[in-house]
Amino acid sequence: MLKVYIAAAFRRFSKRSDDNRAYGEVVDTKYISLLEKIEEVFLDFGFCTCLPHRDEGMWGKIYYDPGAISALCFRHVQTSDVVFALAEEGRGVHLELGYAAGLGNKQMLLMHREGTEPSTLLRGFSEDASPWNGITKGLTKAVTCSYINSDDLAAKLKTILVSEFGVPRKKEHNLGRTNVAIIDLGSHTIKLKVLSCCPGSYPKPIYAAKESLGIMGDVLQKGAFSTESIDKLLKLLASWQLECKRLLCTKVVVTGTAALRKASNASMLIEAIKKDLSWDLTIISPEKELDYVFEGVKATFMDRTKLAVLNLGGGSTQLGIGDTLTPSERYLFEFGTRQLTEKWPWRGPMSAAAYNELVSYVKGQTTSVLVGKRASSADKMVHTGGELDFMLRCRLPLTISKSSPIHVSEISVQDFSRFSEQFSRLPPDHVAKEFGLDPAWASGSVASNVIALCIAESIGANAIIPSNCNISDGLLYEALHS
């Protein structure tokens, strides 16, 4: 499947609430609609797409340091087959085009609104710059075209893809999007996420809600859910069911994890949800949770690359290894960041002795499981659960990863080891301020780094691929393919 990178102005259409930031959030709905209309054309021709404005930072809602986000965009350009650009006034767009042209192996499609004119130098990209036949010419395959409005743009784009690029329109391709709702009954927080999905495109979040009901408190105190907690939960789910209907969700996936696994009357809650809402609730075991995370990650890789996928949480850690959508090897570790943080709290710069003691303990725990069970080696380990966001915020020097159109970044295990140690030496309040991290969440990041490092080293991985995928991605994949 061909990948297209959609380049267009960002900052000019963003609204900054903080002058210290390089850009703000894109709030121009007409501009958002235009970019997504362009994406729909490419999807209709069977491309997978990268619309960085939305896919990497949610239109600027998530802020990254300019160096980190620009480097990520260049990695997406490098892993794309076609670079499309609204080559009008955005300075960043012209940098992306220059980078793409310098690579020498990209097809480029440059469009600009009538009345505007792209840089004169862009004309030099095109093979059409010379009238002579049979002579090697041009830097790359590039087409430049003007348009009047969004409808004219879409029509001309379709024509160019067929006539100039020779891309056949995908037959019997149904462009209708599927809206899927995923509800997670967590131990403390109940979450709803509604995603609009189309093959080839990143799932597009269109609605999200969460409520803290603390249902695990009942289980810890009494071993079961109280009648009051069940009533509150049913009332909340009923209100969310109305939202799902309003958003025309074709599928609703409802899952529960630790609290439901431990509650003696979980079956009562399951039956009540089925009776009142006609929804099936699935209780996910740690093993199945790993399968979903693994599937969500592996589905983004285009070949049968052997991967290790790490699912790391507060109470437990899981590792899957395999080259298909289901891991052929599963390893469960009975510890997570919570236990390690309690024993080695990160309240200030960690001493070298404390850090080495932490590494030694984790290495002993992970090695005993992986070596004892003769785990296979894997060249790459994918570190899931918001780790791409974490590494981008921390401005790690990520390099290109070429096996997935979504996972285009990696860091060598050797460099990650250096980062992990240096990170532990910093004061937590400095880290939170410098890198824009939530202090409460960041408290477990030293432990998380050490766990990832020790497991990567134990399986002989050369690089760690950071990923924002989580269990929702596997649940979504299964919902769309069942």
As a whole number of angstroms, the distance between CA 249 and CA 432 comes to 37
As a whole number, mean pLDDT of residues 42-60 equals: 92
To the question of domain 288-478 being in CATH 3.30.470.20, the answer is no
- Average the pLDDT over each of 79-88, 217-226, 396-405 and give the range with the smallest value: 217-226
The dotted CATH code for 178-284 is 3.30.420.40
Residue 166: band (very low, low, confident or very high) from pLDDT cuts 50, 70, 90:
confident
As a whole number of angstroms, the distance between CA 399 and CA 9 comes to 24
**pLDDT score for 172:** 47
- Closest by CA position to 98, among listed 117, 114, 116, 77: 77
Per the DSSP assignment, residues forming a β-bridge with 109 are 84, 143
Residue 171: pLDDT above 60?
no
* pLDDT tens per residue, range 199-239: 888 888 889 898 887 777 777 788 888 888 889 999 999 99
Residue 364: pLDDT above 90?
yes
As a whole number, mean pLDDT of residues 66-78 equals: 94
Instruction: Enumerate the domain spans of the chain.
Output: 3-163, 178-284, 288-478
| C-beta contacts of 58-62 below 8 A and 24+ residues apart | 58/205, 59/25, 59/26, 59/27, 59/32, 60/10, 60/14, 60/23, 60/24, 60/25, 60/26, 61/25, 62/389
Percent of the chain with pLDDT over 70: 96
Which of 43-47, 116-120, 441-445 tops mean pLDDT?
A: 43-47
Residue 466: pLDDT above 90?
yes
As a whole number of angstroms, the distance between CA 145 and CA 259 comes to 57
- Average the pLDDT over each of 1-10, 15-24, 131-140 and give the range with the smallest value: 131-140
As a whole number, mean pLDDT of residues 435-454 equals: 89
Residue 357: band (very low, low, confident or very high) from pLDDT cuts 50, 70, 90:
very high
As a whole number, mean pLDDT of residues 25-39 equals: 93
**pLDDT score for 92:** 85
Retrieve residue 371's tokens.
């070596």
The dotted CATH code for 3-163 is 3.40.50.450
Percent of the chain with pLDDT over 90: 57
Phi, psi of 361 (to 5 degrees): -65, -50
* pLDDT tens per residue, range 310-345: 999 888 899 999 999 999 999 999 888 888 999 999
Residue with tokens 């000019």: 12
- Average the pLDDT over each of 24-28, 111-115, 175-179, 413-417 and give the range with the smallest value: 175-179
As a whole number, mean pLDDT of residues 141-157 equals: 91
* pLDDT tens per residue, range 230-286: 899 999 999 999 999 999 999 999 998 877 888 899 899 999 999 999 999 999 988
Please state the pTM of the whole predicted model.
0.88
CB 103 within 8 Å of CB 439: no
CB 47 within 8 Å of CB 4: yes
- Average the pLDDT over each of 83-92, 133-142, 150-159, 341-350 and give the range with the smallest value: 133-142
Q: For all residues of the chain together, what is the average pLDDT?
A: 89
Rg (C-alpha) for the chain, rounded Å, is: 24
As a whole number, mean pLDDT of residues 41-50 equals: 92
**pLDDT score for 96:** 92
As a whole number of angstroms, the distance between CA 26 and CA 290 comes to 35
Whether 178-284 shares its CATH topology with 288-478 is answered yes
CA-CA-CA-CA torsion sign (356, 362, 367, 368): positive
As a whole number, mean pLDDT of residues 450-479 equals: 94
